Amino acid sequence: MRAWLPPLMLATLLCGLSAGMSVLEPLYEWVQPDKQQVIYERESFLSLLQNHILLVLISACIGTLVAVAGGIFATRPSGRDFLPLVSQIASIGQTFPPVAVLALAVPVLGFGEAPILLALILYGLLPILRNTLAGLQGVDATVKQAALGMGMSPLRVLLQVELPLAGRVIVAGIRTSVTINIATAAIGSTIGARTLGDPVVAGLVNGNTAYVLQGAILIGLLALTVDSLFEAAESRASAI
């Protein structure tokens, strides 16, 4: 139960700050004394937080399915020849700047959530794929041979032996990918997506440091909350 206390506290702070940012108005007035309005009010912080989480969640689910499927395929006898190709494709997605993905995707997909979803999926593939490959390749061959010797089919070996043994490594890759994409999702505000990057972009455009701080603090808190949730879940799984 103690493991869940830090994420619960962080989540409470995140939601409370999103709902009651105006409570800190005196602090932001001190930070930005030359501005009449120091609290971002064009959109509800709770609404922006909800949309930000949704974008990261959708991209994480799609990216995880694609990366884990690619890792499984590349570690099967029929797909081992494609292992270098799979790794290179994922590496391209990681090294290609998200801003460049947005610039190429906007003319095709238009403004809004679709381009940033594409960018987040591509950007989040590599950590999950690398960990999937490392986890599956790290399973002791004798364990797999023993399972096959007991009459288990290759599919059952994969589902009941390999994936459970590689699970912690794969989850670590998902954790890294999600944490990175929480920050990356903020750039979606530059192309019309509603994220916690809205106050950051508005602050940069208007020279309002208070706006920038509000967005940055909430993004940082969200990243800490999610990372803490992963840590608590891993601790719980280890204890079982």
111-124 pLDDT tens trace? 888 899 988 998 88
Chain segment 12-45, per-residue pLDDT in tens: 999 999 999 989 889 988 988 888 888 998 889 9
Q: What is the mean pLDDT of residues 147-171?
A: 89
Dihedral, CA atoms, 191, 195, 199, 204, nearest 10 degrees? -40
Give how far Cα 70 sits from Cα of 21, 51, 106, Å.
43, 28, 27
Q: How confident is residue 58, by pLDDT bands cut at 50, 70 and 90?
A: very high
Single out the residue of 94, 60, 15, 8 nearest to residue 182, CA to CA. Answer: 60
Residues 168-199 as b or e (16 or more Cβ within 10 Å = b): ebbbbbbbbbbbbbbbbbbbbbbbebbbbbbb
pTM check: above 0.75: yes
Cβ contact 51:117 at 8 Å: no
For Cα atoms 184, 115, 88, give the angle at the middle one, nearest 5 degrees. 70
- The Cα–Cα gap between 117 and 135 comes to 27
Q: Write the single-letter amino acid at 107.
A: P
Single out the residue of 118, 113, 125 nearest to residue 98, CA to CA. Answer: 118
Distance of CA 126 to the CA centre of its chain: 12
- Six token digits for residue 232: 């608590």
For the chain, which domains are there? 51-239 (1.10.3720.10)
- The Cα–Cα gap between 125 and 117 comes to 12
Q: What is the mean pLDDT of residues 58-65?
A: 95
Rounded percentage of the chain residues whose pLDDT exceeds 70? 97
- The Cα–Cα gap between 48 and 61 comes to 20
Count H helices and E strands in the chain, helices first: 11, 0
SS3 state of residue 207? coil
- The Cα–Cα gap between 73 and 67 comes to 10
Residue 17: per-residue pLDDT: 93
Residue 240: per-residue pLDDT: 61
